[in-house]
Amino acid sequence: MKILAYQRVEKPVLDDLQKNHDVQFFKNVDTNSDQAFLAFLQQADGIIGLDLKIDRQLLDRAPNLKIVSNVSVGYNNLDLEALTNRKIMATNTPGILTDTVADMVFGLILSTARRLPELNQLVKSGNWVESLDSRHYGTDVHHKTVGIIGMGRIGFAIAQRAHHGFDMNILYHSRTRKPEAEEKFQATYASLDQLLQRSDFVCLITPLTKETKHLIGQREFNLMKKTAIFINGSRGKTIVEQDLIQALKNGNIAGAGLDVFEQEPVDPKNDLLKMDNVVTLPHIGSSTHETELKMSALAAENLLAGLRGQKPPNLINDTVWK
Ligand SMILES: NC(=O)C1=CN([C@@H]2O[C@H](COP(=O)(O)OP(=O)(O)OC[C@H]3O[C@@H](n4cnc5c(N)ncnc54)[C@H](OP(=O)(O)O)[C@@H]3O)[C@@H](O)[C@H]2O)C=CC1
Ligand SMILES: O=CC(=O)O
């Protein structure tokens, strides 16, 4: 079998795949014009990797393709309809990264509230020359209210940390109510607007879909408390980034912690990078050695099952199987 590996597949997993298959690994290539990439795509039976935009145009160039295995839980890079029409399986890696991403979201909450990167810089730059005062204080996290938009696997793990670790009050919003979160963490279901109005920390952790694209924009930032801190761990396009910039400039909210951006890698000129009250990360929610290895291994398991004609454990477009 010919397997096209893209962007991020951990080495031990890649080595294993290479034992029995013809595997070529591509990183940082222009997928519209790179000749080696396009030549291999033409023959590929399977694709495994991260963030490869799979649309009709690409599929037209991949006549043998049977399965696309994402090394991520999010699959907004896939045109599912186009894949399903061509009976090509699509898979992702849910669950195994949940705790790691929730840890990162909490890292963003703490870093933004307690201004950790800014104060770290103060110390390392040799500017800690006198006792600090209220100009350097942060805001408490414990006993505050966190609003979680998207009470799925990761949302639930954020709620668990908020409840057991920080005695926080929890509001949540998702398409459906979650009795387990209500029972275990005393989480309260709220409409989106109620959540935005009442939360000290607003955490966005939905998938990017047609419905969630630009879910949070000017109107929503205006509803938030002036002291609120906004955290985005989902995808850059779930918010209107310019509206976030404006809300921060106008003092409509107090700060933001961001792991994701409208454009990734982020434009170095992006105004968000100039703001002390914004903590920025390079989309590293699941990026620990342990979790990335597990994600690659699960993606390979999905891929190989599909190529063997078995149903992959994490098949997204179930209808191709029926
Ligand atoms: N920053 C990073 O590195 C990472 C980011 N992510 C992002 O996190 C996302 C969530 O992952 P995970 O928790 O595993 O996914 P889940 O599918 O378990 O949870 C998604 C949640 O979002 C809710 N949701 C979906 N659409 C809407 C909507 N229109 N309005 C309100 N709520 C909505 C769902 O509600 P309901 O249950 O009611 O359907 C569900 O509760 C991923 O898709 C990915 O985009 C994931 C991993 C790492
Ligand atoms: O962003 C990462 C993912 O797994 O989704």
Catalytic-residue membership of 136: no
CATH number belonging to domain 2-94+289-321: 3.40.50.720
Interface pTM, i.e. ipTM = 0.99
The answer to whether domain 2-94+289-321 and domain 98-280 are alike in fold is yes
Tokens of 297: 């291994």
Tokens of 149: 């938009």
What is the pLDDT at residue 322?
A: 75
Mean of the per-residue pLDDT values for the chain?
98
Rg of the chain over CA atoms, in angstroms?
Answer: 21
What is the residue with the minimal CA distance to atom 4 of ligand 2? 72
What is the pLDDT at residue 33?
A: 95
Specify the pTM. 0.98
Catalytic-residue membership of 214: no
Distance CA 132, CA 78 (A): 50
Give the whole-number percent of the chain exceeding pLDDT 90. 100
Ligand 2 geometric centre to CA of 7 (Å): 13
Residue with tokens 């005393």, as numbered in its chain = 186
CATH H-level superfamily of 98-280: NAD(P)-binding Rossmann-like Domain (3.40.50.720)
What is the pLDDT at residue 20?
A: 92
Catalytic residue among 161, 163, 235, 292: 235
Q: Quick: pLDDT tens for 256-313.
A: 999 999 999 999 999 999 999 999 999 999 999 999 999 999 999 999 999 999 999 9
> What is the residue type of 250?
N
Ligand nearest to the CA of 207: 1
What is the residue with the minimal CA distance to atom 2 of ligand 2? 72
Separation in Å, CA 274 to CA 231, 271, 278: 17, 5, 8
Q: Quick: pLDDT tens for 246-262.
A: 999 999 999 999 999 99
Determine the average pLDDT of the residues in 177-184.
98
Catalytic-residue membership of 220: no
Assess whether pLDDT exceeds 90 at residue 6.
Answer: yes
What is the residue with the minimal CA distance to atom 45 of ligand 1? 207
Residue 155: CB within 6 Å of ligand 2?
no
Instruction: State which of 97, 259, 294 you would mutate to test the pocket of ligand 2, scoring each by most atoms of that ligand within 8 A of its C-beta.
Output: 97
Ligand nearest to the CA of 189: 1
Ligand nearest to the CA of 72: 2
Q: Quick: pLDDT tens for 19-44.
A: 999 999 999 999 999 999 999 999 99
Q: Quick: pLDDT tens for 48-104.
A: 999 999 999 999 999 999 999 999 999 999 999 999 999 999 999 999 999 999 999
Per residue, what are the HEC states of the chain?
CEEEEECCCCHHHHHHHHHHCEEEEECCCCCCCCHHHHHHHHHCCEEEECCCCECHHHHHCCCCCCEEEECCCCCCCECHHHHHHCCCEEECCCCCCHHHHHHHHHHHHHHHHCCHHHHHHHHHCCCCCCCCCHHHCCCCCCCCEEEEECCCHHHHHHHHHHHHHHCCEEEEECCCCCHHHHHHHCCEECCHHHHHHHCCEEEECCCCCCCCCCCECHHHHHHCCCCCEEEECCCHHHECHHHHHHHHHCCCCCEEEECCCCCCCCCCCCHHHHCCCEEECCCCCCCCHHHHHHHHHHHHHHHHHHHCCCCCCCECCHHHCC
**What letters, b where the CB count within 10 A reaches 16 and e where it falls short, cover 229-253?**
bbbbbbbbbbbbbebbbbbbeeebb
Ligand 1 geometric centre to CA of 209 (Å): 10
> What is the residue type of 312?
P
Neighbours of 4 (CB within 10 A): 23
Would you list the domain boundaries of the chain? Answer: 2-94+289-321, 98-280
Distance CA 318, CA 21 (A): 26
CB 311 within 8 A of CB 321: yes
Determine the average pLDDT of the residues in 139-161.
98
* Ligand 1 closest atom vs CA 154: 13
By C-alpha distance, which of 279, 287, 249, 286 is closest to 261?
Answer: 279
Assess whether pLDDT exceeds 90 at residue 110.
Answer: yes
What is the residue with the minimal CA distance to atom 5 of ligand 2? 74
By C-alpha distance, which of 42, 45, 32 is closest to 2?
Answer: 45
N- to C-terminal Cα distance for the chain? 24
Tokens of 302: 């999905």
